[in-house]
Structures are given as structure tokens and as C-alpha cells.
Amino acid sequence: MVASQNLCFCVCLRSGVHRLRNPFTRSRRWWEVGEEREEEEEEEGANMPNEVVAMEEENAAVEVEVEVEGEASEQVVTPWTVESKDGGINYEKLIVDFGCSRMDADMVARVERLTGRPAHPFLRRSVFFAHREFDKILDSFEKGEKFYLYTGRGPSSESLHLGHLVPFMFTKYLQDAFKVPLVIQLTDDEKFLWKNLELDEARRLARENAKDIIACGFDISRTFIFSDFDYVGGEFYRNMVRISKCVTLNQVRGIFGFVGEDHIGKVMFPPVQAAPSFPTSFPHMFGDAKQSKDIRCLIPCAIDQDPYFRMTRDAAPRLGYNKPALIESTFFPALQGDSGKMSASDPYSAIYVTDTAKQIKDKVNKSFSGGRDTAEEQRKYGANVEVDVPIKYLGFFLDDDEELKRITEAYRTGQMLTGEVKKVLIDILVTMVERHRRARAAVTEEMVDVFMTARPLPHMFG
């Protein structure tokens, strides 16, 4: 036992990724794009003895097989940890490791054709770059069959940053383009179970986060937002129990790293996240099993959640359900670049939706730049656009492809200075954040109540 523990520990050291904290108590769920660490977990991690850490690392290593095979692994991507040694995440390798598929230009063109509108920049720029059976969704859509969208948020804090908004912005585009319904799960129960939160505080945060989500522009006549504490029961609960019968304790240990000392609330939780993948969980929207048997589910999420939905897809056929399809995104970069992590304790790591124009300007100006140290050198040698954070952010938020290409080239060849690029980004971000704030202010308590009421949605398709 001791020997194997040491081996595991050595493996981890060799890989160059050393973790002093217990990674398994952090519960970054699938829609927390790019959120690398949250400080509350530090206090929990500190209590775990090292042997346990090492043993869990063995489980982690088993989960992501390729990385463990004796050679130095460059990156670790699991539902609870996203780390890379240098140069950022290798997404090609990740797709191979996970066994999902790459989105290609043909698929993007097909989306444009089927929806009759230009594809979202996140699709064109390969932010959402991987998928599982998205082609089946397109096939069935083309035949006139129906599908719905499922996304969500773990409401751990009141303040959201742009990285949190990315999956919602993309989901809104999908809803508008395909004209389909959407369910949004607020996992207040999960946050209560994993974090140092009072139950009522978790519920309050869920409702506050719902307002920011609504401000992204979802259509109330096609969207159902629910908090687990309010909604779980009835058909949803029956699906939870059916799912839980298909997954063994060993499997969840492997995926989530549960150990003997964890409270059983954590073990109970995964089926809550799986259940929304099946339309029978929402009888007020999709009816019973017979009525909804041809309705599929598409889940936009960050790629680190892929192992988790492998579990859900594994259970689906055994329950006689369609497997949910996935469309997966890269991680949202922290302002300090690859070496930094987005964390609630460092406001300079991300742009928050509550930031003022001045704060946005400050943060962008302080962000990690690929430009040279002086204007002369910049003009002479140009910038390293691979690592430049403002260019990466423009890749997310500047809609015009031509303009983005022009700026990137000009910056790379030294015709444009760092300050100029940053100014372009600041303008875009200030406009975006201001628009979000205005929309958020227009969200009434009444509107939240109705979004979160289980009601029939007669016009949710087409």
C-alpha cells in the first residue's frame, strides 16, 4: 500500500503537476467554464492527509489513462482539475484522450444552412470546438424532429464574470437559431453540499444568478429555469433514482473521487445533474415517455465536463432514453494569461459583470500582453499573438471576422501597438457589460418567478 502510494506520488511529481490541495473537494461543475479554483476549497483541502491525496491521485490517474503511462504528462483535464505544464491546454490531445469528435468547417456551414443565419463567432472561431453526436442532432433537426437545450450554473457566488457568461451567450444563440426550448438548472443543492453555505443562502444565490442569466436574453416563452431545491420531485426524482441504479460506487469514485470520508450528500448528487438530460424529467414541457420518446437533448458545456456526461450517456440506453448530445468549449482565459488562474480572491483575474468602465480599462491594461516592452521594439518585431490575452478576448467578443484578422495581423507584424489593441477590447467590453447591466436592471422579481415556474410552453418549438 505504502509503495503504491509513493509510486503515485512520484508519478505526479514526474508529471510536473504537483497538487498540494485535495483536488476532489473542489466541485467545479460542467458549466463553470474556465473557473479554475475557488478559495473556499482551500480550507477543505487542508484537512486531507497526504496519503489520501496520493491515493486519490491514483484514481485520477486511472481516469485519464494516457497521462499516467510513465511519461511526463503535459496536462490534466478532469471535471475537477484543469492544469497544464506550459503553453496552455493541448485541445487536440484532449479530444483524442476523451474520444469525442472535433467540430469542423463543414458542420459549421451545415448549421448556417439549417438555421438560415450566420454562425455564432464561438462556432466560427472554434471556441465550441468538440462534440458528441452533434451531427445526429442536426440530422434529426433537418427531418423536422425536435430537440431541447440543457445548461446550468452552480450558484456559488453572486458575482459572475465573462467566463461564466460565455456558455449562456452561446446557448442563447442556439435557442434563437434553432428555435428550441431550454432548461437551465441551478444547482443550489450542490453548492450547499460542497461549500460552506447555509441552505437558504444557496437558494438566494440561485435566484440572484438567475437574474444575470435572464439578462443574457433568454426567451421566457421557451425557457424554464429551475433550482434543484425547488424543483426536484415527481418525474424528475423518478429519473434520478433510475439513473442512480445504473451507476456503481466505483464509477463515481473514479469520476468524482469520492472517498469514505465524504458525506453521502455528495454521492447522492450526480444523478441530479444527469436527470435534466432526459425529457421525461420535464413532464410539463415534454409530456410522458411516449410523447417525448423522439425528443433529443443537446448540452452545451466546457470540455472538462465530458467525463461526467460519458456517465450519463452510458446510463441512457439502459433506461430506454436517447443519449444526450454534447457541444463542448475550450476554457476561458484568465486575464493574466496561461500562468494565472481565475479566482474569486483576485479581481484582476477576470472581468465581472458589475465592473465599472474604469475597472474594465484597468484590468485590460494590466492583462497579460504578447507585445514587446517598448513601442520601438513592438514596431520592429511585432507581438506574440499566441499568448496575448487581449487578442484572445477579441477572439471571443469581436464579431467581425475581417476586423479580427486585420487587427491580429497588424499586431503580429508590429503595425499596431499593444495599447491600441487593448483600446479596441476595452470599448467592446465596456459596451457589453453596460448592455448586460441594463438588461439585468430590467429583470423584475415577477419575471424571475415566472421563468422559474413549471408551466406549459406551447410555443417552445419553431
Partner 1 sequence: MAHSRESLMSFLQEHGVECETHDHAVVMTVEEQAKHVGHLDGSFSKNLFLKDKKNRLYVVSTLSTTQVDLKALSARLGLGKGGVRMAPEESLHAVLQVPLGSVTPFALINESARSVALLLDVGFQKQSRVFFHPLSNDASTAVTPENLDKFLKAIGREPAYVDFEAAVVVGKGQPPDLANLVPKDEPKGTECQPGTAESQVPAVTPIPKQVPAVTPAPKQSPAISTKKPIAAVSKAKDVARVDIASVLASVLDNVVAAAVSGVNSLTLEEEKKRAVTNSIDAAIRLRLAPDLESTLMMFKNTMYAEGFKSAIESQRHSSTRQ
- Give how far the C-alpha of residue 408 lies from the chain's centroid of Cα atoms, to the nearest Å: 26
Pattern of binders to partner 1 over 243-272, x per CB under 8 A?
A: ------------------------------
233: left (phi over 0), alpha (psi -120 to 50) or beta: left
CB of 241 to partner 1, least distance (A): 31
Q: Does 4 bind partner 1 (CB under 8 A)?
A: no
Q: Does 117 bind partner 1 (CB under 8 A)?
A: yes
Residue of 166, 276, 190 lying closest to 226 (CA atoms): 276
Task: Name the one residue in this structure whose C-alpha cell is 473557473.
Answer: 35
Query: CA-CA-CA-CA torsion for 340, 33, 443, 173, nearest 10 degrees?
Result: 130
Return the number of the residue (30 or 218) whose C-beta is nearest partner 1: 218
DSSP 379-442: HHH---TTT-HHHHHHHHH---HHHHHHHHHHHHTTSS-HHHHHHHHHHHHHHHHHHHHHHHHT
Return the number of the residue (356 or 431) whose C-beta is nearest partner 1: 431
CB of 219 to partner 1, least distance (A): 7
Return the number of the residue (95 or 216) whose C-beta is nearest partner 1: 216
CB of 427 to partner 1, least distance (A): 11
Segment 357 to 416, residues that bind partner 1, using CB under 8 A: 399-402, 405
State the DSSP H helix or E strand holding residue 131, giving kind and residue range, or none if neither: strand 128-132
Return the number of the residue (136 or 179) whose C-beta is nearest partner 1: 179
Return the number of the residue (123 or 274) whose C-beta is nearest partner 1: 123
Who's near 81: CB < 8 A, 6+ residues apart?
Answer: 19, 23, 26, 60
Q: Exposed, middle or buried by CB within 10 Å (0-12, 13-18, 19+), for 441?
A: exposed
CB of 439 to partner 1, least distance (A): 5
Q: What's the angle, vertex CA 400, arms to CA 396 and CA 402, rounded to 5?
A: 115
Which one-letter DSSP state was computed for residue 185?
E
Which one-letter DSSP state was computed for residue 147?
E
State the DSSP H helix or E strand holding residue 328, giving kind and residue range, or none if neither: strand 325-329
Q: Does 102 bind partner 1 (CB under 8 A)?
A: no
User: Among residues 19, 44, 135, 217, which is the contact residue for partner 1, using CB under 8 A?
Assistant: 217
Segment 121 to 180, residues that bind partner 1, using CB under 8 A: 124, 176
User: Among residues 160, 214, 311, 407, which is the contact residue for partner 1, using CB under 8 A?
Assistant: 214
CB environment 295-330: b (16+ within 10 A), e (fewer): bbbbbbbbbbbbbbbbbbbebbeeeebbbbbbbbbb
In three-state secondary structure terms, 79 is coil
Residue of 432, 410, 435 lying closest to 421 (CA atoms): 410
CB of 11 to partner 1, least distance (A): 41
State the DSSP H helix or E strand holding residue 148, giving kind and residue range, or none if neither: strand 147-153
Q: Does 220 bind partner 1 (CB under 8 A)?
A: yes
User: Among residues 46, 72, 109, 199, which is the contact residue for partner 1, using CB under 8 A?
Assistant: 109
Q: Does 443 bind partner 1 (CB under 8 A)?
A: yes
Residues in contact with partner 1, counted by CB under 8 A, come to a total of 37
Stretch binding partner 1 (CB under 8 A), from 36-44, 158-166, 286-294, 442-450: 442-450
Stretch binding partner 1 (CB under 8 A), from 89-97, 219-227, 299-307, 311-319: 219-227
Stretch binding partner 1 (CB under 8 A), from 225-233, 245-253, 337-345, 435-443: 435-443
Which residues bind to partner 1, rule: CB under 8 A? 105, 108-109, 112-113, 116-119, 124, 176, 214, 217-221, 399-402, 405, 431, 435, 438-439, 442-444, 446-447, 449-451, 453, 455, 459
